[in-house]
Structure 1
Amino acid sequence: MAEERLQKILARAGFGSRRACEELITSGRVTVNGQIAELGGKADPQKDSIRVDGHKLKAADEKLYYAVYKPRGVLSTTAGPDPRRKVTDLVPGGEQLHLVGRLDLDSEGLMLLTNDGDLTQQLTHPRYEHEKEYRVLVARQPDMEQLATWRRGVVLPDGSRSLPAEVRIEKPHGKGAWLRVIMREGRKREIREITRLLGLPVVKLLRIRIGALRVGDLQPGQWRLLEPEEVETLRSRKTPLPFRHAPAKRTPARSSRLATGDKHPSTRTGRPAASDKRPSSRSGRPPAGEKRTRARDDRAPDTGDKRPSRGSRPTIGDKRSGTRDDRPASGDKRPSRSSRPAARASRPTGKRPTPSSRKPGTRRPS
């Protein structure tokens, strides 16, 4: 058998998802032929001695699938020094199984335990968006705004936004209500955090479905082996779903009208269609294309006097009727200096009379 990466070998043997197996390697709990393994190392399980916490690795030839109802107060963990009861204690050989869909200590409901690493990776990776359905009892009656906010997605304390969820009121319960919630991600204590931010404290939380697997008639602490048909149904969704953050694009109706050549239909009652002619609201308004003539009868009364006609204006290209004969042509020369009129005659010479020589009563000649 060819060498494979250690995390893949461990996941196939039922030690958890590949990410969980990587943590086992980095924490120094895995050895290969007596040497502490490093992340990225490879081994051949048929030739090499692989041990986890000192226990020799045995290939998991048979795949096991347990549907378990985790009670409240039971830990969702596979290992650790905590003396409290773990969900792996509920099934035989649970230490070699890994968990699909963890629940916090105060929550209860359906969990899947298996040694099938590939299926675990598929069911737990966020990009596959497998649905998980819950019944949640909250202490207050939620209003429409709170439900709408949860459905759109809530901004969490770390700055991220939860994926859109399906939330509806199942039935009232005292001052609170039972909610039916379908999530497509599985962050730690996500539902409790969302309800806290919305002002809807959780009283009770239980999970009833993981993908196509339902809790059925299981009671707290009980388990059952999955039927082969159930396993195949869980495996059937191998292609990641597209993210649902953006709504589907709508094809505008206008494009179909343009493609068919139809005109825009009238949507208002009583409004004429585009092809019909509008009735004229003005009695004297001529139809389009004709010249308008202004009726001036409603203005100043006609006194009978008529203005003199100016005559018709010459059209473009006609010569003017009146020509100026005294204006020289453009090619004529200016008249010579000899033809100009003579200068004005000079004044007569003589002595200017003095004031004393003037007779009284006479005026100075101008």
Structure 2
Amino acid sequence: MDLWGKRDDMVVHEREPFNAEPPRTALAEMPLTPVESFYSRNHGPIPETDPVAWRLRVDGLVERPMELSLQELRSRFDEAELDATLQCAGNRRAGLAEVRDIPGEDPWRSGAVSTARWSGARLGDVLAAAGPRPEAAHVAFAAPDVSPVADPPQSFGASIPVAKALGPEVLLAWAMDGRPLPRVHGALLRVVVPGWIGARSVKWLTRVTVQAEPSVNYFQATAYRLLPPGADPVQAGPGDGISLGPLALNCDILSPDDGARVPPGPTEVVGYALAGDGRSVARVDVSVDGGHSWAQAELEADADPWVWRRWRIVVDLPAGAAEITARAWDSSGSAMPESPAHLWNPKGYVNNSWARIRLDSR
């Protein structure tokens, strides 16, 4: 089986399109996720790009439309480097599926989130060179990967507001962890939109269009929208539900693994927490008694709105069955909801309920 250079123990949800996540314990190993462990979310076959013929087109509501080769992009604009965490909107969907079935959607566990060091040109610098017109309000991205999920099949696309696009954190990335982008992660060029759902970080980028309205692409106008519990996703059309953009506060337990057998007594618990656009993680609480009492975990590294905060704590497990619960708070004072039952939706998006694992400590 072709794992696109991924580790052998990836949880593969689909082979075509390739959708896979690492085991949760792999994400606990280091702050930056190795490329071989980085999750992969795709909606169609992974395209192959001719580096000689490839051009990035910048057009729409701009004074100076451009076509740039990768070399022209690299030589004309300063290179920026940024650590950023990407998270699929369907991360932790399996927890919602335990509440009620979610047919037709990949049962992502806890691994559809990963962190890398990205290098590329700032999108804001490229837009400044093109000169957005006063009526510009959104920046749309286009790629050549055609997905049969849309009806009729169409290439993947998305957009973000101009205000976000001009932020110094949004990159047109050509490198990942100091190496050229792997094909599975968007080579030759991809967008990296920190703090927003991964679907907005479009891979295999070929076009940037400045426009007055959000993208009408299926994957923004119809998919990646939060529908009410009673809605039929098959019947949902453009504009239904809430368009997903900035990430919701989330956290999860990475080690020990759910269902693991561990000895009773002191046990180290490791996890991550991630806040949404422009916010930072302020606190993580951990409970071993179902939420009756809580202890604060130690947060690693300084608060950074674009990167997860890893956390750890040593808890004292009693003999027998045990449950560990974790919840996070962000810099706005917001906290995670307790139950996935209160969050269930027919597409299985945005499960940011309290994280739970069950252990056998006999």
TM above 0.5, yes or no, is no
Structure (1 or 2) with the larger CA radius of gyration: 1
Greater per-residue strand proportion: 2
Greater per-residue helix proportion: 1
- The TM-score, its normalising length taken from structure 2, stands at 0.23
- The TM-score, its normalising length taken from structure 1, stands at 0.23
Structure with the greater relative contact order (CA < 8 A, sep ≥ 6): 1 or 2?
2
